[in-house]
Amino acid sequence: MPEVSDMVNLFDAFIWIFGLIFLLAAGMGVMNTMLMATYERIREFGILKALGATPWGIIRDVAAEALVLATLGTVLGTILGLAGSYYLQQVGLDLSIFAGTYSVGGVAFDPIWRATISLKMVFIPVVLML
């Protein structure tokens, strides 16, 4: 059944494309947060420099703040994502209100869709975020 194989390959490609889009959006969110935090603290940086802080010390502090923000976001996002996926794996998403059992290309699909937790799809985004 080459149609099913083609559908699986296309689905994998869409997963990668959407994953990259979400990763880009998350990166832009962190960047925006750090830019706003930096612009709001310009006076604080001036006071720190007046008290003897070096420019590299200030950069190190901002970078450490960004690292903590990204790490906490990654950990919390992974935990919430795994919890949601586990729920959808156990209970499933009931789409029977839209249609009963339906078929595509001669293959019948159950109206209750269940998630599958894949270690590859969990750890690749986590590693890329860190």
DSSP secondary structure letters along 34-100: HHHHHHHTHHHHHHHHHTT--HHHHHHHHHHHHHHHHHHHHHHHHHHHHHHHHHHHHT-EE-TTT-S
Domain boundaries, position 124? 2-129
Q: Could you tell me the pTM of the whole model?
A: 0.61
Neighbours of 125 (CB within 10 A): 19
What pLDDT digit, counting tens, does each position of 24-69 carry? 998 898 789 888 888 898 999 999 999 999 999 999 998 898 888 8
Beta bridge partners of 112: 94
pLDDT reported for residue 110:
77
Residue 1 — pLDDT band, cuts 50, 70, 90?
low
Of 70, 90, 64, the residue nearest 28 (C-alpha):
70
The mean of the pLDDT values for the chain is: 84
pLDDT reported for residue 27:
83
pLDDT reported for residue 98:
76
Q: What average pLDDT does range 82-108 have in this prediction?
A: 81
Q: How many domains does the chain have?
A: 1
Residue 93 — pLDDT band, cuts 50, 70, 90?
confident
Q: Regarding predicted confidence, which is higher, 58 or 122?
A: 58
**Residue 15, phi then psi, degrees to nearest 5:** -60, -45
Own/partner pairs, 47-51, CB within 8 angstroms, 24+ separation: none
